[in-house]
Structures are given as structure tokens and as C-alpha cells.
């Protein structure tokens, strides 16, 4: 399979325009079973916060600190699998063709990956991503803050 275009970088030109109004995403396991996850389903899962996060936005400055709230990637996966899904990496891809790859080894080493839908106690707007990946440990100017998540694909 060919590699996704975003895997080895992104020009950092943040796209300000949501690709669509629909904030639901698909979740696909290596065994091929796809699920559609809507925001209200996400909101029923265990809630986790990541405090002291910044949006280091290339082009329009740094903002924060913010407290993001949402669902840990591992809690999402646990809710949609019985038992332990075998996966090595997870691609989180937006509706505008941007994405980021999370390695299982990173998660197991304690890297937090949060599917955030709240910011300082209010919902994220669609412009802010509505469902936005937050990896508080990242250092590369928001490249891991995938806005408008459309697909989460686990790969074995
Ligand atoms: N879906 C999507 N997410 C994205 C991007 C993008 O182009 N598309 N750009 C990234 C980059 S490089 C930056 S700097 C931030 C900008 O976030 P902001 O628009 O909330 O300031 O979004 C990140 N997430
Ligand atoms: Mo960026």
C-alpha cells in the first residue's frame, strides 16, 4: 500500500475551513470491521482532561494554555473491541486530507493521545476541529492536532 501524503510532513499552512459539517468519523480495526462514531457516542465514553495545552498555530500565533477534554484513544478502542485488538499503528485522518500516525509503542510508553471535543469546559466549535486530536507531548507546531477527524484506522 502507498504511504499517505501527510506521513512525512505537512507544510504547516493550517487550513481554517472545515471540510464538512459532519463531525462523525469511522473507526476501522485491522480485521476490517468499520464503526461510525458520532460525537454524542464519544461523549458517553470515559472523559479525560489534558491541562496546560497550547495551540502553537503556524501563521496565527500561539494561544492557550487550554484544558482540553475528551476521550483517550485507548478508551475509544476499548469501547469498540471485546478484548485486545492487535494493532501496531493508528492513522488519524481528517476530512481535508491531513493526518497523523500514532504508534502503539508510544501509547504504551505513556504518550497521551486524546480525542478532544471540549476546551475549557465548552464544546469545540467546528472551526476548532470539533473532534481534534491532542497529543500534549508533541513539539512540532500542532502537526499532531488533527482537526476534523474523519477516519481512525488501526493497522496490524
Ligand atoms: N485537519 C487539519 N488539521 C490540522 C491542519 C490542517 O491543515 N488540517 N493543520 C495543522 C497545523 S500545521 C496547525 S498549525 C494547526 C492550526 O490550528 P488552528 O487552526 O486551530 O490554529 O492545525 C493543525 N491541524
Ligand atoms: Mo503548524
- CA 141 to centroid of ligand 2, rounded, Å: 4
CA of 88 to the centre of ligand 1 (A): 25
Q: How far is CA 70 from CA 32, 50, 77, 82, 128, in A?
A: 25, 9, 14, 22, 14
Any idea which of 6-10, 69-73, 118-122, 150-154 has the lowest mean pLDDT?
A: 6-10
DSSP-derived pairing of the beta strands 25-28 and 149-155 = parallel
First CA to last CA distance, the chain: 13
Ligand 1 within 6 A of CB of 5: no
CATH architecture of 23-155: Alpha-Beta Complex (3.90)
Bond from prior residue into 65 cis (ω within 30 degrees of 0): yes
Task: Pull the grid cell for residue 145.
Answer: 492536532
Give residue-wise pLDDT tens across range 35-87: 999 999 999 999 999 999 999 998 778 999 999 999 999 999 999 987 678 89
pTM for the full predicted model: 0.96
pLDDT in tens, 101-115: 999 999 999 999 999
Residues in Cβ contact with 117 at an 8 Å cutoff, skipping those fewer than 6 apart:
39, 42, 43, 69, 70, 71, 123, 124, 130, 131, 132
Query: Does ligand 1 come within 6 angstroms of the Cβ of 140?
Result: no
Ligand 2 ion: nearby residues, β-carbon < 5 Å: 12, 58, 141-142
What backbone torsions phi and psi does residue 41 show, to the nearest 5 degrees? Answer: -70, -40
Strands 114-119 and 61-72: antiparallel
142 lines ligand 1 (CB under 6 A): yes
In the chain, domain spans: 23-155
Amino acid at each position: 500500500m502507498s504511504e499517505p501524503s501527510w506521513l512525512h510532513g505537512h507544510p504547516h499552512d493550517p487550513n481554517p475551513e472545515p471540510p464538512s459539517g459532519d463531525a462523525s468519523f469511522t473507526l476501522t480495526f485491522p480485521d476490517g470491521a468499520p464503526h461510525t462514531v458520532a460525537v454524542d457516542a464519544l461523549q458517553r465514553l470515559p472523559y479525560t482532561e489534558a491541562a496546560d495545552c497550547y495551540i502553537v498555530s503556524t501563521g496565527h500565533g500561539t494561544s492557550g494554555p487550554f484544558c482540553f477534554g475528551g476521550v483517550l484513544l485507548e478508551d475509544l478502542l476499548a469501547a469498540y473491541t471485546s478484548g485486545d485488538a492487535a494493532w501496531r499503528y493508528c492513522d488519524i485522518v481528517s476530512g481535508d486530507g491531513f493526518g497523523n500516525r500514532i504508534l502503539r509503542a508510544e501509547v504504551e510508553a505513556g504518550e497521551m493521545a486524546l480525542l478532544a471535543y471540549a476546551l475549557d469546559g465548552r464544546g469545540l466549535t467546528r472551526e476548532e476541529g470539533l473532534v481534534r486530536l491532542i497529543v500534549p507531548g508533541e513539539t512540532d507546531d500542532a502537526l499532531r492536532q488533527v482537526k476534523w477527524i474523519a477516519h481512525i484506522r488501526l493497522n496490524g
